Amino acid sequence: MSGRVIGVLGGSGAVGRVAVDRLSRYGLGPLRVGGRDLGRARAVADGAPGGAAEAVRVDLGDPGSLAAYCEGCSIVVNCAGPSYQVLDTVARAALAAGADYVDAAGDAVALRALASDPPAALARRSAVFSAGLMPGLSGLLPRVLAESGPLERLDVYVGGAAAIGPLSAVDALLTRGPGFGSALAAWRGGRVVERALAPLRSVALPGFRGRVHAWPFLSAEAADLAAELGVGELRNYTVYVSEHIPEALARAWAADDLPVEEHVPSVVAAADADIAIGGPWYTLLFHARPRVRGGGAPTRLLLRTPDSYALSGVVAALAARALAEGAVPAGAHAASAVLDPRGVLDALSRDPLVDEVDLG
């Protein structure tokens, strides 16, 4: 490794400041908190509980600034976005500086952008994408339910009420089309079946507050998981407390001749309206039916957090810890494919940002 500093790019954001906090508490570092606003970065660096954190001004849109930021880092953790515009930009700069890479976001599309034209450094170094909640935990935690054998069926419900900042709203608006997933689709018998499912409106789900709306969306992550584990049928739902967000997204996608930024205020407002209903909360629920029944293996995993963005910062920090411990092979990977599902679940069970973990 070229250095021993861990850089957290976007370390003053909703995801990044929690990544900084946890990396510091795990005793990793020294840390380098990066962003365009040096004052915001410095406030986070000064508050790092383990000390030894510096603040550095960096604009990831400026190649010189980004290269200088990555120089001397052993790991660069990217929590800046919008992910679907950043793609593999920061990963390439980190690898060029001799560092490993973690991205709290970055879907299969970003991973492919790097892997399709891999830099030579990727033969020795690692790049871990989708180290957040969704994608991230949504593809990692179901593996705990598949430890004892193949699954006939897996149902995934992820959602709740969470504030969406302007930067993440751009990601929400751009996460569509081939490469990301397919609305109403399910995975059945080894392939994607379009229009297989209908929205579940006003349903009660374990661990979710009140009645919620569950929208079927077979993400690329969910389809990859089903294919890898040989799941017979996988149903993947994004859960909302109201129709505000799906309606705002549908309106924006119907008017996609306008620049994406024009639609950001309505997505941000829709998320705020959801929070006004009952405050912020978020749940991940996985329900499995094993092929061989009666073996006593757990069939349900539930995790509840008050803050999905902050929890993504915890996951990014856990991915960086796995890299620092040498537990990740060289190459480009999704976090769900290389992190230890049990190890992450245990760490999350002890994290103050997790209200409940129920495995049974």
Ligand X SMILES: NC(=O)c1ccc[n+]([C@@H]2O[C@H](COP(=O)([O-])OP(=O)(O)OC[C@H]3O[C@@H](n4cnc5c(N)ncnc54)[C@H](OP(=O)(O)O)[C@@H]3O)[C@@H](O)[C@H]2O)c1
Contact footprint for ligand X (CB under 6 A): 9-16, 35-37, 40, 58-61, 79-83, 104-105, 132-136, 165, 167-168, 171, 309, 312
Contact 161, 279 (CB under 8 A): yes
Looking at the Cβ atoms of 151 and 344, the one nearer to ligand X is 344
Shorter beta-carbon distance to ligand X: residue 151 or 332: 332
**Residue 58 Cβ vs ligand X, minimum distance, rounded to whole Å:** 5
Q: Which is nearer to ligand X, 42 or 287 (CB)?
A: 42
The distance of closest approach from Cβ of residue 18 to ligand X in the complex, given in angstroms and rounded to an integer, is 9
- Is the CB of 31 or the CB of 58 nearer to ligand X? 58
Cβ distance to ligand X smaller for residue 53 or 60: 60
Tokens found for residue 50: 């383990």
Instruction: Please identify, using beta-carbon distances, which residue of 29 and 35 lies nearer to ligand X.
Output: 35
Least Å from the CB of residue 301 to ligand X: 17
Compute the least distance from the CB of residue 289 to ligand X, in Å: 26
CB of residue 220 vs ligand X: minimum separation in angstroms?
13
The answer to whether the beta carbons of residues 312 and 338 sit under 8 Å apart is no
- Measured from the CB of residue 20, what is the shortest distance to ligand X in angstroms? 10
CB 231 within 8 A of CB 151: yes
Three-state DSSP string of the chain: CCCCEEEEECCCCCCHHHHHHHHHHCCCCCEEEEECCHHHHHHHHHHCCCCCEEEEECCCCCHHHHHHHHCCEEEEEECCCCHHHHCCHHHHHHHHCCCEEEECCCCHHHHHHHHCCCCHHHHCCEEEECCECCCEHHHHCHHHHCCCCCEEEEEEEEEEECCCCHHHHHHHHHCCCCCCEEECCEEECCEEECCCCCCEEEECCCCCCCCEEEEEEEEHHHHHHHHHHCCCEEEEEEEECCCHHHHHHHHHHHCCCCCHHHHHHHHHHHHHHHHHHHCCEEEEEEEEEECCCCCCCCCEEEEEECCHHHHHHHHHHHHHHHHHCCCCCCEEEEHHHHCCHHHHHHHHHCCCCCCEEEEC
Looking at the Cβ atoms of 128 and 167, the one nearer to ligand X is 167
Neighbouring residues of 274: CB distance < 8 A, sequence distance ≥ 6? 161, 162, 240, 241, 242, 244, 245
Question: Measured from the CB of residue 102, what is the shortest distance to ligand X in angstroms?
Answer: 11
Between 110 and 151, CB nearer to ligand X = 110
Classify the phi-psi angles of 159: left when phi > 0, otherwise alpha if psi is within -120 to 50, otherwise beta.
left
In this complex, which beta carbon is closest to ligand X, that of residue 12 or of residue 24? 12
Shortest separation between residue 40's beta carbon and ligand X, angstroms: 5
Q: Please state the closest distance from residue 173 (CB atom) to ligand X, in A.
A: 10
